[in-house]
Every structure is written in C-alpha cells, then in structure tokens.
Amino acid sequence: MKSTLFLAVTAAAAALTGCGGASNTTVNVNTRGANANPNANVMANANANTSVANSIANSAAKLTTTAPEEFMTMVAQGGMAEVEASKAALAKSQNPEVRKFAQMMIGDHTKADAELKALAAKKNIKLPADMGSFKDMIDDLKGVAAGEFDGDYIDGMGEMHEDDVAAFREQAEKSADADVKAFAAKTLPTLEKHLEMLKGIKAKMK
C-alpha cells in the first residue's frame, strides 16, 4: 500500500521519506471534452493532502531542540500527539499489525509521559497541558479517509520517530542536565524499537 500523503508531497516536503510510486487516483474524462484538464482531479487531491504532510514535517522538526527545558516541553506535546494519533488508528484501521502497533504506542508513550511529568515536577518545570502545534497534525490525520489512513499514520509516526530518536540521542549524549540525560538514555531504546517496527510495517504496505 502506498500512502496518498507521501505521493502528494514527495517533491515539496524534503523532510518526509517513503516508498514513492504512481498515484491510484482515477481521473474521469468524458468523450465530449467537458473536463479540459484530465489531471485536474489528481492535482486537487494532491493539494488537499499537502497540509497533512506539512503539519507532520513542521511539528516533528521541533523535537530536535537541544535545550533541556524546551526538549521536555516538546516531548510532552509530541507524546500527547502520538498517543492521540494512535487512538485514531485504533478507531479507523482494520490492519491487525497497525492496530497492534498503535496499542503499543499508547502504552509506551503514556508510561514515558508519566516519567516525564515526575521529572518536570522534580525540577519545578510546568509542562504544557495541550499538544500545541502538534494539534494541527492530529486534526489533519483524523480527517484522512479510512482507506488512506494506515499509510498516512505509519508515514507520520515514522517521521516523528526519526526526530524523536535524533532528539533523545542528542540529550542522552550531550545534555548538561544529568536527570534529563538519564531520562533520554532510558527512553531512547524504546523509540528506536518503535522506529524499526514502523519501517517493517511500511515495507509490507508497498
């Protein structure tokens, strides 16, 4: 399976990577020439999905901040977003592997969120109660048709986990805050496991 999201924005969103390929969109052209541009429907669908790709790329990139407090804030918001996206996957997906992954995501990120909140309380840091800029990504993802959802969900979570792993590795290796460094080092293997699983699921969708 190839994600409509990825196909629509490969050229425009360099932050996204995926399988590529030709669109499955059907263009109906009547014999009287009423549709002067047979590619109009394809372009309309591509433009409609661009906002989903942009919101994923823009939100995920913010996870790469290296400042400990900013890192904790973005991890809190990104974690909430990944849980919400996974709840949407449980509601929309009929793919057993996608559903199993989504359930694991909810459990793992809920656990990490609890540990992050304990760390923030220890340091008197107030974490956000909402998803911030990640909300646009979730709203767009929830609006994707069920038939296209699995590809968009896996692509989106793949992009976020690429940045998760990079950000957590940076903190685990270089953070000046010993507690944040320990939290990042403890959580990193779980995120790396998620990323490998996402790559495996995506490969099966091609």
Domains of the chain: which residue ranges? 54-205
- pLDDT of the residue at 146: 86
- Tens of pLDDT along the chain (206 residues) come to 444 343 333 333 333 333 333 334 333 434 344 444 444 444 444 444 445 545 555 555 555 555 788 999 999 999 999 999 999 999 999 999 999 999 999 999 999 999 999 999 999 999 999 999 889 889 999 999 988 999 999 999 999 999 999 999 999 999 989 999 999 999 999 999 999 999 999 999 87
0.85 surpassed by pTM: no
- pLDDT of the residue at 36: 47
Q: Using an 8 Å Cβ cutoff, are 98 and 89 in contact?
A: yes
Please give the distance of CA 158 from its chain centroid, rounded to a whole number.
6
Query: Which has the closest alpha carbon to 117: 107, 106, 125?
Result: 125
Query: Which has the closest alpha carbon to 157: 98, 110, 93?
Result: 98
Structure tokens at 140: 């767009």
The CATH class, in words, for 54-205 is mainly alpha
